[in-house]
Chains A and B, each alone.
Chain A
């Protein structure tokens, strides 16, 4: 009996050792499994002035985020003075669509003014720092020149300018209503300002932004990522950064608003060589050079 007992005990010991070995061998996988990220927070960069191209890149990033099953939340890293009105509206709709499917948190890492604030408005929360800037909710446009340059033939009185100055004013007012209306549709319950006050198009430093409801919390981009992950119910998560395309040299020059450099807003937002009416949601002093462009067109036409 005792011999049998002894052999059973030995067998048990061996089995325990074997079990331990197997367990140790498999444990790392189990550990990995337990600590494996259960989702990804995508940080989508919205940097630089908003043009059709830069907006398309951000919109594509947001679509990728929506279609990628592992991405459960998006942080919009905003540092932009805005840009063209149409591209800003496209961004607004893309961010709004994304926010309808997953948590979206905006982190203002520099400036979220005008068009870029438009893009950030549908986010669930907007994080700012005391020095970052939000606001400038307004629209601007260059007035068209109505005269037909000599040496050109056009088929109608508005072929050159596109519209009369009064019509440009109407369009700017329409865009303002859409902009201010959208901001109130997204954040009306949090904004402490009246529509008229918002329409003044002031920029507010982060702390005042939190006070008047244009922003929600003070915090850096990491805080925003954490908040987004929290909203998505992620305890372990990866962070994937979707970088903005590097702006072209011309765009960078165009961004240096209010300097003595020769770059004009037209050079950043315009079609080369053609002077069209620009509807901009852009913060900052801009240099327009309509006269020079007109002269160039004339010179080219007569050459």
Chain B
């Protein structure tokens, strides 16, 4: 065979093979069904409303610095569920404005057999304001009488509470110097203290499934006067409603929210004021994580102002009350002159 013929034969074979392969490829492209269908679209993943926006978190907590320096006592002696760290924004604002903050951890000086609450009332005597938040144990009748006298004399009182938790967490709390008052109440709520001022805390948390601060338990609350002045959208997490009676009146309201225990949707008041006493159904707004969330900075600044703007007579509750009143009838104690 001549080399030229061989080359031509090979060429023909190559061309024919190429045509066959190309035909198979083209046929596969045209006739072959795709093994993978189109990727599904997930409509819910592709909207502008998918990503939850962070809640506005700026501003700062301030306390009025003009006027005389006031002493604010933060009660820690009842197993209170707030530590100094937890309420740092409030403490910082008060201290920065020149006021004094005392964390009262219990009367270590009181001797065995002394009247319960004597040390507590003694501390109040030198104070201008009291913060009682989330106590694990009840206040004794003597202490309640002391706080009543304190408020009547112009002392400012902030009562704050969370929804009650199970009592198992509170049974191990020890109260130095106040052993006789160690009965466990609805944990987390200064029930008998609030009752003395016509306020009652609720037994569930408030939630809002539609309009909330990125969680159903974070509800918006607002008001228009007093401590709620300028507060439109305070963010209260795990808040409990406050029921008022007597002279107490609501100051801060959460609208169209539901209560976990009844599932009833309504407007609930979350803060109430009775003279010199302010009761708030939330303690989280005092903490550094949520003190500036939403309008909480305005609310907390107003609360700080409320605490230091009182005008309290010194020496009340009088020492006689510490030893005298044990029945705790809720009547106004005798004022010291």
Contact = CB atoms under 8 A, between A and B. Distances in A.
A253 interface: no
Given A174-B50, A196-B209, A101 B37 contact: yes
Given A166-B289, A170-B214, A200-B209, A177 B40 contact: no
B289 A165 contact: yes
Interface stretch (B41-49, B66-74, B180-188): B41-49
Interface residues of A, number: 31
A135 to B, nearest CB: 15
For this complex, into which size category does the number of interface residues on chain B fall? 20 to 34
A178 B293 CA distance: 25
A169 interface: yes
A172 interface: yes
A173 B45 contact: no
B216 interface: yes
Contact of B216 (A67, A181, A199): A199
Nearest to B38: A100
B267 to A, nearest CB: 17
B214 A182 contact: no
Interface in A173-214: 173-174, 177-182, 184-185, 196-197, 199-200
Contact of A181 (B44, B55, B289, B293): B44
B44 A182 contact: yes
A128 B52 CA distance: 34
A130 B276 CA distance: 58
Contacts of B214: 166, 169-170, 172-173
Contact of A96 (B36, B42, B215): B42
A66 interface: yes
B54 A170 contact: yes
A92 B38 contact: no
B140 to A, nearest CB: 34
B303 to A, nearest CB: 22
A182 B40 contact: no
B215 A169 contact: yes
Contacts of A199: 209, 216
B39 interface: yes
A184 B49 CA distance: 14
B45 A178 contact: yes
Nearest to A173: B52
Contact of A93 (B37, B42, B53, B218): B42
A185 B52 contact: no
Interface in A83-101: 92-93, 96-97, 99-101
A184 B44 contact: yes
Contacts of A174: 50-52
Q: Secondary structure of the A side of the interface?
A: helix
Contacts of B40: 93, 96-97, 99-100, 122
A171 B51 CA distance: 8
Given A177-B44, A177-B49, A182-B42, A172 B216 contact: no
Contacts of A196: 209-210
A13 to B, nearest CB: 50
A185 B35 contact: no
B37 A100 contact: yes
Nearest to A66: B37
A173 B215 contact: yes
Nearest to A102: B37
Interface in B53-95: 53-55, 57
Given A97-B37, A196-B209, A177 B52 contact: yes
A185 B50 contact: no
30 contacts: A93-B40, A96-B42, A97-B37, A97-B39, A97-B40, A99-B40, A165-B289, A166-B55, A166-B289, A169-B214, A170-B51, A170-B53, A170-B54, A170-B214, A173-B52, A173-B214, A173-B215, A174-B50, A177-B44, A177-B50, A178-B44, A179-B44, A181-B43, A181-B47, A181-B50, A182-B43, A182-B45, A184-B44, A185-B42, A185-B44
